[in-house]
Amino acid sequence: MQQPYTEEQQKKIFFFRGIGLTFVIALFAKCLAWLPFFNMMGQLVIAILIGMTWQAVFKVPDVLLAGSNFSSKKLLRFGIILLGMRLNFVDMIDAGPNVFILAVINIVLTLIIVYGLARLFKVDENLGILTACGTAICGAAAVVAVAPQLKAKDNEIAIAAATVAILGTIFTMSYTVLYPIMHLSSHGYGIFSGATLHEIAHVIAAAEPAGKDAIDTAIIVKLTRVALLVPVAIVIGIWMNRSKNNKRDTTSWTPIPIPWFIFGFLSMSVINSLGIIPAYLVHYIVLLAYTFIAMAMAGLGLNVDIATFKKLGLKPFSAGLIGSILLSILGYVLMHLLNLV
């Protein structure tokens, strides 16, 4: 006769079931991301939306939350580290200095504008920063990468990620409609898409009507923005650290939180740029990275209260919408000024 499980064993079982639930959601999101329309949203966005829906419909038992929290916090960091394998600094250098200048100006001004609008609309500081980073840099991946620097709550992370995802999908569809009247070459349209859209999935979907050259160019430009996630995360950590010290009105020095996983991300990028790892293996490493991050997104979604989302989500969405419009206009103008059309 089988002995009953001890309390400790039961906790472990439910812990792994919680992780397993996030894995199932991530896998289902991956399958949905292959379908028309859903491919514009991407696996990460779909995973967080499924998690939120699951929580709203079924109400995840508290005993499973330890496992889903492990996915949303620990696996997230490993996923971000492995995602560095997408970056190849050689390709970015080959794209030319003007592309880098375009990416830097877009990111800096979008961060300032979206954060400023968020504060104007009385959005909480953390949520405003996360929405600004997601809009300016690389969507959900930027949100979850910067969140530890802010000690952001799960609700704040989920709302910012979902907000940026919805905005990116809207703008992706708009770009495909506007492309014929933009008067850009396929190469120029690729640069424009990569410089102004939110997620990598959005960039690929938007650039597709202009052909393979546009897609390849768009990905390189987009990854140039992703590379800038590292200095942005560090600057935000320093800024938040000093801000907290000022609020305490103390002269004591507090150590700046080091985002170790961001440096892991950068290290993996260097390894990929050196060509040490075969291309086919890089593909599988990136696939694993997205699986981990999608599991993290699912875990975040499972912790979101829909009522809270409705209450807090409208203002950051408005800030992100205005910021995204200005980002698109700015990107289009800068492309002409830098002769990238």
**CA nearest 219: which of 229, 206, 231?**
206
pLDDT score recorded for residue 129: 92
DSSP assignment of 155-217: HHHHHHHHHHHHHHHHHHHHHHHHGGGS---HHHHHHHHHHH-SSHHHHHHHHGGG-HHHHHH
Give the chain's end-to-end CA distance (angstroms, integer).
75
pLDDT score recorded for residue 28: 94
pLDDT score recorded for residue 161: 84
> Which SS3 state, helix, strand or coil, does residue 133 take?
helix
Query: Exposed/middle/buried for 172, CB within 10 Å: 0-12, 13-18, 19+?
Result: buried
Asked if residue 41 lies in contact with residue 33, where contact means CB atoms within 8 angstroms, the answer is: yes
**Among all chains, which residue has been given the structure tokens 């990275």?**
289
- CA 173 to each of CA 179, 209, 301: distance values in angstroms, whole numbers, following the listed order: 10, 11, 25
pLDDT score recorded for residue 255: 47
pLDDT score recorded for residue 2: 53
Q: Tally Cβ neighbours within 10 Å of residue 22.
A: 29
In a domain, 21, yes or no: no
**CA nearest 104: which of 248, 224, 234?**
224
- Domain span at residue 271? 87-245+256-293+306-338
In a domain, 16, yes or no: no
**CA nearest 124: which of 313, 251, 281, 276?**
313
In a domain, 175, yes or no: yes
Asked if residue 300 lies in contact with residue 69, where contact means CB atoms within 8 angstroms, the answer is: no
pLDDT score recorded for residue 220: 82
pLDDT score recorded for residue 250: 45
pLDDT score recorded for residue 112: 93
pLDDT score recorded for residue 247: 57
In a domain, 101, yes or no: yes
| DSSP state for residue 255 in the 8-state scheme | P
**CA nearest 171: which of 216, 131, 135?**
135
In a domain, 155, yes or no: yes
Q: Tally Cβ neighbours within 10 Å of residue 279.
A: 8
- The Cα 100–Cα 153 span in angstroms is 33
Asked if residue 163 lies in contact with residue 320, where contact means CB atoms within 8 angstroms, the answer is: yes
Asked if residue 153 lies in contact with residue 126, where contact means CB atoms within 8 angstroms, the answer is: yes
Name, in order, each residue with C-beta under 8 angstroms of 61's C-beta and a sequence gap of 6 or more: 14
Distance of CA 17 to the CA centre of its chain: 26
> Which SS3 state, helix, strand or coil, does residue 50 take?
helix
In a domain, 4, yes or no: no
What is the number of domains present in the chain?
1
**CA nearest 72: which of 59, 315, 85, 64?**
64
In a domain, 92, yes or no: yes
What would you report as the CA-atom Rg of the chain, rounded to the nearest whole angstrom?
Answer: 20
In a domain, 121, yes or no: yes
Name residues of the chain where pLDDT drops below 70. Answer: 1-5, 40-41, 243-262, 304-306, 308-309, 312
- How many CA atoms within 13 Å lie on the side-chain side of 266? 13
For residue 294 the two structure tokens come to 């999608």
